Amino acid sequence: MAKSKLNFRFHNPNTAEATADYILKIFIEANQEKVEQAMQTAAEISAAAPPFTYPDELETTGSHLT
């Protein structure tokens, strides 16, 4: 017996923007735990790192400068 191919068609009465917004909300909800973990890890790394120094705050004395 040959396998028949399934064909699915969905009717979406929403606008493309509304559909995209809905799908985005689903993705955010589904990945919320991963995002929170990534933010926690980034915060821990940032707290352990030395503070950032802007180039204009660096000392200008030394033989490497002209």
In whole angstroms, give the CA distance from residue 43 to residue 37: 10
For residue range 7-59, what is the model confidence (pLDDT) as tens digits?
988 888 999 999 999 999 999 899 999 989 998 998 888 888 777 777 776 66
| pLDDT for res 20 | 94
Q: What is the pLDDT of residue 57?
A: 66
Residue 64, pLDDT > 60, answer no
Query: Could you tell me the residue ranges of all domains in the chain?
Result: 15-42
pTM exceeds cut of 0.75: no
pLDDT of the residue at 22: 94
